[in-house]
DNA sequence: CTTGAAAAATTTAAGAA
DNA sequence: TTCTTAAATTTTTCAAG
């Protein structure tokens, strides 16, 4: 994937200020609005960027509990993994899930209204493959650095 | 925080489609464009929503390695925690970091161009408090469920 | 890529529910 | 208040160079 300087700048700005107007974006990257819009459209068509998300401030919106869960499956079969991935996708409170190498099989982030509801979800996950799922819960005490995008300068080649 | 049905719908839509036009948003929530815009402005002023992020598709953009790191500090002093939090904020490849309760002290997600660079970051983190930091790295093999917003229906009271 | 005109969206102001 | 309408401003979009 080759990107010129302007496209990098567009992605970098759009990554952090998704609701910027095309006119402002054009000005900041030094293009006319129409060619800037053409580039944005192309970047979206190529699916290099999108969707666009509004970050909700949960702490101001309502009480909630965030838990990071490590998962180990005793049964290392494909079916067992598939079942777990499906559960992650189907439970709305599981807001993200990764398959990893190392000591664990999955990491999940779960956001629930309270511990009672979290406990239900925990039980639901244990029931997927009874006796074969090992969960460890870590309640989030503080978000030291919230996700605000990727470090493009470090990641893109010259 | 009390939100009527319309504000919930606005937040829910804006969370997932941040670049929707105000006119389309107004239509979907059943308001005139001007009153819809007023509500959005208020929600932003109250900092219930924002910033707005464009999701970059790293897998299409460039090669990269994502690692989830568990951190335990042997030294449980406030200074030690502070130093670690600062490092997380200052290293651009650390894209998010949480302080947690349980077996670990922190979870971090690190995105680096390759393993060589990841290893350097790992060393940098170990150097913060030599001999007193325990890191465990878990390379992400698959993103089973990427973060796409919070489950508002489950989280907001009636 | 740029310009420039037409179409669409945003924003403001005035007044009604 | 919060809404709607409507006009003024700004932005987006598209055709032509």
Give B102's contacts in chain A (Cβ within 8 Å): 136-139
The answer to whether the C-beta of A39 is closer than 7 A to strand C is yes
Q: Are residues A42 and A110 both part of a single domain?
A: no
B62 and B115 housed in the same domain: yes
| Residue A140 contacts B, CB cutoff 8 Å | yes
Residue A1 pLDDT level (bands cut at 50, 70, 90): confident
Is residue A156 one of the residues assigned to a domain? no
CATH number of the domain residue B69 falls in: 3.30.70.920
What pLDDT score was predicted for residue B51?
98
Residues of B in contact with A97 (CB under 8 A): 143-145
Residues A129/A83, Cβ–Cβ less than 8 Å: yes
- Residue B71 belongs to a domain: yes
Residue A146 and residue B143: Cα distance in Å, rounded? 18
Q: Which of A98, A103, A156 sits opposite B62 (nearest CB)?
A: A156
**B63 and B35 inside one domain:** no
Give me the pLDDT at residue B158, please: 86
For the entire predicted model, the pTM comes to 0.97
Residue stretches of chain B with pLDDT short of 50: none
Max distance between CA atoms of chain A, in angstroms, equals: 62
Q: Residues of B from 24 to 83 whose C-beta is within 7 A of strand C: which are they?
A: 24, 33-34, 37-38
**Gap from B80 CA to chain A (nearest CA, Å):** 14
User: Do A64 and A135 belong together in one domain?
Assistant: yes
Question: Are B72 and B28 found together in one domain?
Answer: no
Q: Is the C-beta of residue A23 closer than 7 Å to nucleic acid chain C?
A: no
From A15, A85, A146, residue closest to B96, measured CB to CB: A146
How many angstroms separate the CA of B100 from the C1' of D15?
58
Q: Same domain, yes or no, for A46 and A70?
A: no
* Number of helical H runs and strand E runs in chain B: 7, 5
Domain that holds residue B84: 58-139
pLDDT for residue B1: 87
Same domain, A100 and A48: no
B151 inside domain: no
Q: What is the pLDDT of residues A76-86, one digit of tens each?
A: 999 999 999 99
A130 CA – C6 C1', rounded, Å? 65
Which residue places its CA closest to the C1' of nucleotide C12? Answer: B34
Q: Decide if B100 is inside a domain.
A: yes
Whether residue A111 sits in one domain with residue A48: no
Chain B interface includes A57 (CB < 8 A): yes
Residues B38 and B67 in one domain: no
Rounded Cα distance between B155 and B158, Å, is: 10
A-chain CB neighbours of B18 within 8 Å are 18-19, 51-54
Q: Mean per-residue pLDDT for A114-138?
A: 97
Q: What is residue A74's three-state secondary structure? A: coil
Q: Is residue B86 located within the same domain as residue B49?
A: no
In a shared domain, residues B62 and B102 = yes
Domain count along chain A? 2
In a domain, B94, yes or no: yes
Question: Same structural domain for residues B126 and B89?
Answer: yes
Q: Is residue B128 part of a domain?
A: yes
Average pLDDT over chain A reads 97
pLDDT at A145 over 90: yes
Separation of alpha carbons A46 and A31, rounded Å: 20
């Amino acid at each position: 994937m080759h990107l010129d300087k302007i496209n990098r700048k567009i992605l970098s700005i759009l990554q952090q200020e998704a609701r910027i107007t095309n006119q402002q974006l054009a000005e900041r990257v030094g293009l006319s609005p129409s060619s800037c819009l053409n580039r944005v459209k192309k970047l979206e068509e190529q699916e290099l960027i999108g969707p666009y998300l509004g970050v909700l401030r949960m702490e101001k919106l309502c009480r909630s509990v965030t838990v990071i869960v490590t998962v180990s499956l005793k049964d290392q079969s494909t079916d067992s993994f598939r079942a777990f991935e499906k559960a992650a996708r189907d439970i709305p409170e599981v807001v993200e899930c990764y398959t990893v190498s190392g000591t664990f099989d999955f990491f999940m982030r779960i956001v629930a209204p309270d511990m009672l509801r979290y406990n239900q979800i925990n039980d639901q996950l244990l029931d997927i493959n009874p006796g074969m799922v090992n969960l460890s819960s870590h309640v989030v005490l503080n978000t030291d650095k919230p996700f605000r995008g990727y470090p493009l300068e470090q990641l893109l080649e010259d």
